[in-house]
Amino acid sequence: MTTKRQKADVVIVGLGWSGALMAEELTRAGLNVVAIDRGAWTDTSTHTPPSVDPDELRWSQRKELLSPPRDNTATFRNTLDQTAIPTRNWGVFELGGGVGGAGFHWAGMGWRFSPWDFEVRKQTIERYGLAKAEDGELQLQDWGVTYDELEPFYDRWERIAGVSGRAGVIKGEKTGVGNPFEGSRSRDYPTPALKTLRAMELFNDATNRMGLNPFTIPTANLSEPYVNPLGVSMGACSYCGFCLYFGCGNFSKSSPQACIFPVLMRRPNFTVLTKSCVTRLTKANDGKTVTGAVYVDEQGNEVEQPADIVILTAFMMDNTRILLHSGISKPYDPRDQTGVVGRNFTFQTVSGTDMWFEDDNINPFIGAGALGSQIDDYNGDNFDHSDLDFIGGAGILTLSRDGLPIAKANALPPGTQRWGSEFKKSYAKYYRNYATIFNQGCSMPTKTGYMDLDPNFKDKFGVPLLRLTYDYAQSDRNMAKFTMDRSLEIAREMGASHVNGFNFADKPFTTAIVASDHVIGGVPMGADRPTSAVNPYLQSWDCHNLFVVGASAFPTNAGYNPTGTVGALAIRTARAIADTYVKNPGALVEG
């Protein structure tokens, strides 16, 4: 039997960055909001203080802050004729285990996408012709929102997160520092960039000599104490290096916990239900609206939370799965490319170069999750693709965060014995003399890259697992090879004695090996109703009181990490709900 709770104005499914930003805006606007999250309450002082945090085995190897594959995984296959297999161990799905989602253990690269990233199709056709955009395999579509429209909301997200960086372009003027290729900003970052560490020095010097344009990656690891617009105080990053997969004991890695919960939790019109997993949404009889969310609590009771507005912020996997399982909107069919839910899965196309130096001291234990230098000379459409067999590109970056000794024990020059005295000798020398160049490449959707429900495997509630069908587009494969070659050139210029290029896209895609955590798409946004599940305000085309927020909405993926764009889209949607929708419930966009 399903019990019913008292109706709320808004139910939010999932309280990570997306859900927390939405909840903050909507509670401030006076709505009463109930958030439901499958995770347990997890916070800095109670769970990850400095006395607990610096522990590689527990947090990075065993990943105890994450939601295990046992509870949350997906099946995958490369092509339609294969039987999909479950992802049994850790791989690309490194979901957050607690309330706050993956934004607690993430690295914290705090990017905006470039203007090109929102209009890949349009601009590719304009600059290179239709054939380049429609090669038979790609399924390019634009976002229905432009960088300029999103800029104020990027700015707001950066203020809330306190992102540390240096502007490259302010109000259309190049500053002479920072990233000269970035979209124009209304103002500088709220806090200055972090320090330049050794691997970054080598990279900056080399790329400068090569006529490229290095800059420090914007980080949600804060360079100095900061108070955000909500009044929440954050501390300065201590370069502890226990960052990616870890909490932050210093309140200096931005997260829903560090930046939003202290204010949100105090609002009387906000409630959060923890350890409660939403399995489906309920629909009104006319099918034009949804009426609430059904969840299973810790004791296994099924409960319905009715609400006037339903917001899915359960990450792209469950955003997609809940829609499919609830029978909302037409599932995507790869054979004729009709339908919208599950459409345009994308990833991150990664290549790069491992490097070893002889007598340096990279000191990799000093670092922060997002700290590094990057060039955008080969990202997006910042370079001419007329004579190239691909579109897009990659952020080519070096990291100052590679100091965890168990994880790095395989990072030895090619040909080195991986055990025995030879291993010990090599690791003793190269632990402090290793660095990497990572090409974080764009990912373009294909006609057969999509998600549906798996016919064979289920989760612990008996709900089918999400089934992912995907392989890299040839365009992305070519891009990864091209950028790998650029990274090899940079590595040699940096003076590395040994270099080893790697390219995840020269093999088929797999969910079982973590090239990146950025799984994207499934509920694409757009101005064109037949090819998108949500409109440019992330409002369901079919159920006007349903909003689906997160990287599920990206119709294409850029050569940057997603969360800045997730945050900007969430804030924009929340404002549209508070300012327009509540006054006149209905479609915010004609479609």
Ligand X SMILES: Cc1cc2nc3c(=O)[nH]c(=O)nc-3n(C[C@H](O)[C@H](O)[C@H](O)COP(=O)(O)OP(=O)(O)OC[C@H]3O[C@@H](n4cnc5c(N)ncnc54)[C@H](O)[C@@H]3O)c2cc1C
Cα–Cα distance measured from residue 383 to residue 377, given in angstroms and rounded to the nearest whole number: 7
Residue 569 binding partner per list ligand X, another protein, ligand SF4, none, with a CB distance cut-off of 5 to 8 Å that depends on partner kind: none
Cα torsion 134, 140, 146, 152 to 10°: value is -150
Residue 513 binding partner per list another protein, ligand X, ligand SF4, none, with a CB distance cut-off of 5 to 8 Å that depends on partner kind: another protein
Q: Which is nearer to ligand SF4, 227 or 284 (CB)?
A: 227
Q: Which is nearer to ligand SF4, 46 or 83 (CB)?
A: 46
Catalytic member of 105, 385, 498, 518: 518
Residue 539 binding partner per list ligand SF4, ligand X, another protein, none, with a CB distance cut-off of 5 to 8 Å that depends on partner kind: none
Cα–Cα distance measured from residue 102 to residue 92, given in angstroms and rounded to the nearest whole number: 12
Residue 406 binding partner per list ligand X, another protein, ligand SF4, none, with a CB distance cut-off of 5 to 8 Å that depends on partner kind: another protein
**Chain length of the chain:** 591
What DSSP character marks residue 206?
H
Q: How far is the CB of 225 from ligand SF4 (least distance, A)?
A: 12
Cα 135 to the center of its chain, rounded Å: 27
**Cβ neighbours of residue 587 closer than 8 Å, sequence gap 6 or more:** 535, 539, 541, 544
Q: Which is nearer to another protein, 504 or 554 (CB)?
A: 504
Structure tokens at 384: 């001419």
Contact by Cβ (8 Å): 231, 263: yes
Q: Which is nearer to ligand X, 56 or 360 (CB)?
A: 56
Residue 103 binding partner per list another protein, ligand X, ligand SF4, none, with a CB distance cut-off of 5 to 8 Å that depends on partner kind: ligand X
Q: How far is the CB of 155 from another protein (least distance, A)?
A: 27
Residues at the interface with ligand SF4 (CB under 6 A): 221, 237-243, 246, 248, 250, 252-253, 368-369
Cα–Cα distance measured from residue 283 to residue 281, given in angstroms and rounded to the nearest whole number: 7
Residues at the interface with ligand X (CB under 6 A): 13-19, 36-39, 94-96, 99-103, 105-109, 244, 277-278, 313-315, 318, 370, 517, 550-551, 561-564, 566
Q: Which is nearer to another protein, 250 or 573 (CB)?
A: 250
From 302, 287, 250, 313, select the one nearest 99 (Cα to Cα).
Answer: 313
Structure tokens at 281: 């949404």
Contact by Cβ (8 Å): 390, 478: yes
Q: How far is the CB of 267 from ligand X (least distance, A)?
A: 19
**What are the backbone angles phi and psi of residue 452, rounded to the nearest 5°?**
-145, -170
From 351, 349, 450, select the one nearest 76 (Cα to Cα).
Answer: 450
Cα 573 to the center of its chain, rounded Å: 18
Q: How far is the CB of 565 from ligand X (least distance, A)?
A: 8
Catalytic site residue 105?
A: no
Cα–Cα distance measured from residue 220 to residue 239, given in angstroms and rounded to the nearest whole number: 13
Q: How far is the CB of 540 from another protein (least distance, A)?
A: 12
Q: Which is nearer to another protein, 23 or 145 (CB)?
A: 23
Cα–Cα distance measured from residue 489 to residue 511, given in angstroms and rounded to the nearest whole number: 30
Residue 126 binding partner per list ligand SF4, ligand X, another protein, none, with a CB distance cut-off of 5 to 8 Å that depends on partner kind: none
Q: How far is the CB of 361 from another protein (least distance, A)?
A: 5
Structure tokens at 568: 């900007």
Which residues are known catalytic residues? 518
